[in-house]
Amino acid sequence: MGERVRVGFVGLGNIGRPMALRLAAAEDIDLQVYDVAPDPVAELVAAGAKAVGSVAELDVDVVCVMVRDDDQVRSVAADVAPDTVLVVHSTVAPETPAALAADGRRVLDAPVSGGPMGAAQGSLAIMVGGSEDAFAAARPALEVMGSKVVHAGPVGSGTRMKLARNLIHFVAFTAVTEAQRLAEAADLDLAALGEVVRHTDAITGGPGAIMYRTTTAPIAEDDFWHGVFSHVAALGEKDLGFAIALADELGVDVPLAREALPRLGKGLGL
């Protein structure tokens, strides 16, 4: 058995609580927790964690923070011992992690993707920015909570990666609402459409299926990906054209589809 890592967790909300429960169940983690709400604290104590009365009372090597916003993160950071690795799981403004580290504090920005279900299963993707030594110190805890832990670069890189990831997420959500309006106007079952989308995305990987290149530069014609993405663009432009024509016929506004049609090929690097 390896050396036990002393970890504190602050913020036991919808995602923080199951993350902390994963840590409480880990053999090589000694967990201390703090939250202003008593019920999740009691649940963590029952799971084997130790409760403390304030952030300043945490006596640990690593403090994981999953609170609501930048102001709460800064408030917690102010009470964390300066030699402790501060791991910020909250999604904050791009400039906040570097500001927290400006006084020499060992900061990792480590936002997560996967939601409460991924937190409960220990299958989160955790995107980490910060120094190699801070990452090494926190890694045992991170790997308990996530099955995909990516060291994205220096402090701030984890947050930037999370924002890029969530740009996909929420633009796609907006596209879904557009597709739902089109489907509803066409007298289709929206729940059945949703089942089809979830089924096929699980097979193809959804939007992530095109994210294999390491650059967004134009693709040379003799590059393997030129043929692949030319096929994708041809199919996409055809189907977007048909969808826009259907929307025009049914009187449905589809601005994202109209924006996507002329941008798809260029965006793919063609």
Query: Active-site residue 50, yes or no?
Result: no
Residues 23 and 139 in one domain: yes
pLDDT one-digit tens code per residue, 161-176: 999 999 999 999 999 9
pLDDT at 2 over 70: no
The string of DSSP letters for 181-204 reads HHHHHTT--HHHHHHHHHHHHHHH
Which of 146, 161, 176 lies at the terminal end of a domain, its last residue?
161
For residue 197, tell me if it sits in a domain. no
> Given this model, what pLDDT does residue 103 score?
84
Q: Which CATH number is 120's domain given?
A: 3.40.50.720
Q: Which CATH number is 266's domain given?
A: 1.10.1040.10
pLDDT at 136 over 70: yes
Among 144, 121, 123, residue whose Cα is nearest residue 31: 144
Find where tokens 């609402």 sit. Answer: 177
Domain span including residue 250: 212-270
> Given this model, what pLDDT does residue 3 score?
79
H helices present in 112-156, as ranges:
115-121, 132-145
Catalytic-labelled residue, pool 50, 148, 162, 266: 162
The rounded distance, in Å, linking the Cα atoms of 194 and 14 is 25
Give the rounded percent of residues in the chain with a pLDDT score beyond 70.
99
The rounded distance, in Å, linking the Cα atoms of 44 and 228 is 49
